[in-house]
Amino acid sequence: MGISVSNISKSYKDLKALQNISFEVKPNELFGLIGPDGAGKTTLFRILTTLLIANEGEATVAGLDVLKDFKEIRKYVGYMPGRFSLYQDLTVEENLNFFATIFGTSIEENYELIKDIYVQIEPFKDRRAGKLSGGMKQKLALSCALIHKPKVLFLDEPTTGVDPVSRKEFWEMLKRLQQKGITILVSTPYMDEAALCDRIALIQDGEILQIDTPENIVKQYPKTIYDVSANNMYQLINSLKAYQHKHSVYPFGEFVHYTDTRSDFNPKELKTYLEAQNLSNISIERTQATIEDSFMELAK
Amino acid sequence: MNNTNVIQAEGLTKMFGDFTAVNAITFEVKKGEIFGFLGANGAGKTTAIKMLIGISNPTSGQAHVAGFDVSTQAEDIKKNIGYMSQKFALYDDLTVKENITFFGGIYGLTKIKIKEKTKELIEDLGLEEVANQLVGSLPLGWKQKISFSVALLHEPKIVFLDEPTGGVDPITRRQFWEMIYRASHQGTTIFVTTHYMDEAEYCDRVSIMVNGKIEALDTPKELKKQFQVDSMNDVFLKLARG
Amino acid sequence: MKRFIGFITKEFYHIFRDRRSLFILFGMPIVQILLFGFAITNEINNVDIAILDHSKDATTKEIINKISASKYFSIKQLIEREDDIEAVFKKGKVKAVLNFEKDFSKNLVKDHKATVQIITDATDPNTANTISNYVSSILQKYQQEQNKAITINYIIVPQPRMVYNPELKSVYMFVPGVMTIILMLVSAMMTSISITREKELGTMEILLVSPIKPFQVIIGKVFPYIFLSIINAIVIVLLSIFIFKMPVQGSLFLLGLESVLFIISALALGILISTISATQQTAMMISLMGLMLPVILLSGFIFPISSMPLPLQIISNAIPAKWFIIILKGIMLKGVGLQFIWKETLILLGMTVFFIGLSVKKYKIRLE
């Protein structure tokens, strides 16, 4: 009931959207595809949902071949495209009803599965979908994608353009769906959402950088990262970048994440250097790597 | 950063019929500051910004932007601000150079000045190779950087950025923030609206709007301390969930 | 079946919630038929003319009386000199001037021949032509009356008689044309727009990743428009019968069947258009440029096909509307049955099958 992708490649004219992608999603896993816009996430989703044909490679979804068994696959998967893709001029209930009927089922029959999500929008069931807020649209879209009890759920950037509260709720819903036995493949450009997945694949420019659990990816970060801050961010960045032993310098919120090329790096030395650059209030402290650090190190 | 206020809002309010979209907000932004203006969808961010850039009249209260009154001197404000949004930034079917020339033109830059700025911008961003390519053919990250530079062409006092780095890869994103730090260092005020909390972490100070009111306003560090959490995302969740 | 009904219900929601397309659906036929019926017409009524009578004798007076008594002309001005002719035309006061030669009666008796010059303002050639024909026919009629008394041997008197539309009512010509245009517009344009809208909104993606079959989507999309087009056809026929008193000579049943056939061919074209356009805007442009213009210009609706250059005549054969108009005129005006229009019907049927086949083949089960 999982997903298996082996050596998938896809190009549009001279643009290589996907290059030799392989990974496995285990049954009942919550698997994240993490990468920026244009990394090839949507193309991969469309290949797996039988909407596009890969130039090379093979893939199966729930044990079915995406090319040969596309009709079967279409019965068993739920798909939520990146863009809000419901009928704006139909009400919440009409949309749900419609998707239930085209999958040959009814709201009542599968109410159990969507109940959690649908109760939150049920008070607005007579409102047209176009007039819902971002968070509510997203819940409706998820309800519609679930209405036929899919075995595998594909969610393409479900949290893009949604506020933090709705995002958090959305991930909580995904966790509950996973407990009900659904395999979920979700994509997101937000690195902070990676930690919420069982396993993730970091993807950029059509290539997978790494596949592992979020914990392992962070653990494998090869360097020690230091949070550096000073009175002037702009000058701090410039000074750090000019430092001869720097390995990487990335602004990270109120800090700069700094790594050194040397294994016997001594922060005091750096502090002296920065002071000589007319910076004050300097603080240099060890910190934990994040998925974003790993991503940048891998993409470098 | 010095102490001149570039934006000053006092009791700024906007009502649509019975509905109060923006409820008496008061805040100021200093010269060269990177100010984050946060809020959920529908919290009133967009309405507030429309008033600040002079395209919507406040129902009550007042605001000064770049020294001009938003209700009476809207035209002067427009000359002194730059704007960049994620949705619309540059024309995909014009080349990099043509875009620069066009936007320089609408801000009334002289031909000589446009030439000078074009050269400067292309060198700065290392775009020599692609200067005559259509913008549509460039990666998203590049477009973002170019459109930020274009928003700075006429040397505005304040630049409004709308979700500037959503969806951009992490490295390009850092480069983008470095550009913002530089502009801020040179005295340009940066006004960032976003509902991505990790963008908020980069700002000098942030305000968080909930239901038309500013519910919190401080440096990210102080806010995290105040709410006893680790990230701006958690600050926001605490505020929004009450 | 439940799927299908669910789909159609949804389509009707779309149609009834979109006021603009509702207006196109039901307002357009009425507006167009009234517009063509009343405003745009080839008939002439009370056209202002001027008379320059050089002889002022009994015969000319009698002729002038005849002309002025007819409902087609009203004599606006009597002028005295040749020079004035150009002046009255330039002022735009009259559309025609009748110039009777000197000694009209005398010449007629003496030489059996007298001339009256009919000068018309040909800036509007159609009207000029019609005026000139009408005047000639009044003159001819007058002459026949006069000649009854005298017997002249061996004269051929042509007696034109217009059949099927004896009063030359232009509305008779427009109704079939307008009906064709409207059925084309509603069927082809609306379906192509409604299918491309699903593509634009991204809902097509979800429909594709679902067990609903492509032909179910197509039929679900097309069915409501078949229904609406039939209603439109009925409205048009009723309007022409009751407002323009246009008789429908032939079988209404046959008329209905032929209309359904044409509607289906237009729907198939609509589906075909939707498979090649990615946005609603493109679909609309293609429908307007690719379907409406040929229907108006090349179907024989306004410009007679027989007077077109040969290449255009050949092209016109490929336009379903041409055949439908022939069929409509046959049934409505001539009252013929299928035995006279089976050839046209067969051509239309062939085209319909072809378009359906092509659009099913072109319809994509994936995104590219």
Give the distance from residue C16's alpha carbon to the nearest chain A alpha carbon, in angstroms: 10
C161 belongs to a structural domain:
no
Cut 0.90: pTM above it: no
Q: Which pLDDT value is given to residue A176?
A: 94
B9 belongs to a structural domain:
yes
Residues of B in contact with A233 (CB under 8 A): 181
Q: How confident is the model at residue B150 (pLDDT cuts 50, 70, 90)?
A: very high
Number of domains in chain B: 1
Q: Which pLDDT value is given to residue B166?
A: 76
- What integer is the mean pLDDT of C43-67? 85
Give the distance from residue C2's alpha carbon to the nearest chain A alpha carbon, in angstroms: 7
Nearest one of C342, C353, C296, C339 to C319, comparing CA atoms = C296
Q: Could you tell me how many residues make up chain A?
A: 300
Cβ separation A88–C201 shorter than 8 A: yes
CATH code of A92's domain: 3.40.50.300
- Please identify, among A193, A218, A243, the residue that sits at the C-terminal boundary of a domain: A218
Q: Which pLDDT value is given to residue C282?
A: 93
Q: What are the pLDDT digits (tens) for B171-203?
A: 988 999 999 999 999 999 999 988 778 889 999
Let me know whether A177 and A237 are in one domain. no
Residues of B in contact with A160 (CB under 8 A): 166-167
C158 belongs to a structural domain:
no
Place of tokens 């699903």: C198
Let me know whether C133 and C260 are in one domain. no
Regarding an ipTM greater than 0.90, the answer is no
Nearest one of A44, A64, A63 to A55, comparing CA atoms = A44
Let me know whether C292 and C181 are in one domain. yes
| Least CB–CB distance from C17: residue in A89, A101, A145 | A89
C162 belongs to a structural domain:
no
Q: What are the pLDDT digits (tens) for C270-302?
A: 999 999 998 999 999 999 888 888 888 888 877
C164 belongs to a structural domain:
no
Q: Is the pLDDT of residue B102 over 60?
A: yes
- Please identify, among A197, A218, A239, the residue that sits at the C-terminal boundary of a domain: A218
Number of domains in chain A: 2
Give the distance from residue A67's alpha carbon to the nearest chain C alpha carbon, in angstroms: 11
| Least CB–CB distance from B181: residue in A162, A234, A253 | A234
Lowest mean pLDDT among A2-16, B77-91, C38-52: C38-52
Q: Which pLDDT value is given to residue C21?
A: 78
Residues of B in contact with A37 (CB under 8 A): 140, 167-169
Q: Is the pLDDT of residue A16 over 70?
A: yes
- Tell me if B84 sits within 8 A of B147, measured CB to CB: yes
Find which of A124, A196, A241, A254 to mutate to test the B interface (most B CBs within 10 Å of its CB): A254
Let me know whether A110 and A236 are in one domain. no
Find which of C206, C207, C366 to mutate to test the A interface (most A CBs within 10 Å of its CB): C206
Residue B37 Cα to chain centre, angstroms: 9
Let me know whether C139 and C236 are in one domain. no
Q: Which pLDDT value is given to residue C158?
A: 57
- Tell me if A86 sits within 8 A of A41, measured CB to CB: no
- The residues, ordered by sequence, that sit 6+ positions from C121 with a Cβ below 8 Å of its Cβ are C89, C94, C95, C96, C127, C128
CATH code of A229's domain: 3.30.70.100
Let me know whether A152 and A229 are in one domain. no
Q: Which two tokens stand for residue A247?
A: 């390995």
Give the distance from residue A169's alpha carbon to the nearest chain C alpha carbon, in angstroms: 24
Let me know whether A277 and A137 are in one domain. no
Cβ separation C366–A53 shorter than 8 A: yes
C155 belongs to a structural domain:
no
Let me know whether C259 and C224 are in one domain. yes
Let me know whether A20 and A128 are in one domain. yes
Pick the more confident residue, A135 or A202.
Answer: A202
Q: Which pLDDT value is given to residue C168?
A: 56
Nearest one of B151, B219, B174 to B1, comparing CA atoms = B219
- What integer is the mean pLDDT of C111-125? 83
Let me know whether A95 and A210 are in one domain. yes
Let me know whether C243 and C289 are in one domain. yes
Let me know whether C210 and C96 are in one domain. no
Cβ separation C209–A53 shorter than 8 A: no
Residue of chain B with shortest Cα separation from A168:
B237
Place of tokens 């090649």: C276
Let me know whether C90 and C203 are in one domain. no
Let me know whether A265 and A206 are in one domain. no
B95 belongs to a structural domain:
no
Let me know whether C179 and C301 are in one domain. yes
Cβ separation A53–C203 shorter than 8 A: no
Distance CA C324, CA A73 (A): 44
Q: What are the pLDDT digits (tens) for C207-216?
A: 998 888 888 8
B100 belongs to a structural domain:
no
Q: Is C116 on the interface with A (CB under 8 A)?
A: no
| Least CB–CB distance from A101: residue in C3, C14, C206 | C3
Let me know whether C11 and C72 are in one domain. no
Q: Which pLDDT value is given to residue B242?
A: 60
Q: Which domain holds residue C10?
A: 2-40+169-362
Q: Which domain holds residue A288?
A: 222-299
Q: Which two tokens stand for residue A260?
A: 């050194």
Q: What are the pLDDT digits (tens) for A57-108?
A: 999 999 999 999 999 999 999 999 988 889 999 999 999 999 999 998 999 9
CATH code of B188's domain: 3.40.50.300
Q: Is the pLDDT of residue C151 over 60?
A: no
B110 belongs to a structural domain:
no
Task: Tell which C residues from 8 to 37 touch A, by Cβ distance under 8 Å.
Answer: 9-10, 13-14, 17-18
B126 belongs to a structural domain:
no
Q: Which pLDDT value is given to residue B87?
A: 65
Q: Is the pLDDT of residue B61 over 60?
A: yes
- What integer is the mean pLDDT of C76-100? 86
Residues of A in contact with C201 (CB under 8 A): 85, 87-88
B119 belongs to a structural domain:
no
Let me know whether C127 and C267 are in one domain. no
Number of domains in chain C: 2
Judge A/B contact: 3 or more CB pairs < 8 A: yes
For residue C121, CA distances in Å to A241, A252, B49 come to: 87, 83, 65
- The residues, ordered by sequence, that sit 6+ positions from B72 with a Cβ below 8 Å of its Cβ are none
Q: Which pLDDT value is given to residue A108?
A: 92
Residues of A in contact with C206 (CB under 8 A): 79, 81, 85-86, 99, 144-145
Let me know whether C249 and C330 are in one domain. yes
Let me know whether A175 and A261 are in one domain. no
Let me know whether C81 and C111 are in one domain. yes
- Please identify, among C115, C149, C183, the residue that sits at the C-terminal boundary of a domain: C149
**Do β-strands B213-218 and C47-53 pair in parallel, antiparallel, or remain unpaired?**
unpaired
B141 belongs to a structural domain:
no
Q: Which pLDDT value is given to residue C258?
A: 94
Give the distance from residue B197's alpha carbon to the nearest chain A alpha carbon, in angstroms: 8
Residues of B in contact with A204 (CB under 8 A): 169
Q: Is C366 on the interface with A (CB under 8 A)?
A: yes
Q: Is C207 on the interface with A (CB under 8 A)?
A: yes
Give the distance from residue C355's alpha carbon to the nearest chain A alpha carbon, in angstroms: 25
Q: Which pLDDT value is given to residue B1?
A: 47
- What are the DSSP calls for chain A, one per residue? --EEEEEEEEEETTEEEEEEEEEEE-TT-EEEEE--TTSSHHHHHHHHTTSS--SEEEEEETTEETTTTHHHHHHHEEEE-SS--S-TTSBHHHHHHHHHHHTT--TTTTHHHHHHHHHHHGGGTTSBGGGS-HHHHHHHHHHHHHTT--SEEEESSTTTT--HHHHHHHHHHHHHHHHTT-EEEEEES-GGGGGGSSEEEEEETTEEEEEE-HHHHHHT--S-EEEEE-S-HHHHHHHHHH-TTEEEEEEETTEEEEEES-TT--HHHHHHHHHHTT--S-EEEEE---HHHHHHHHH-
Let me know whether A209 and A82 are in one domain. yes
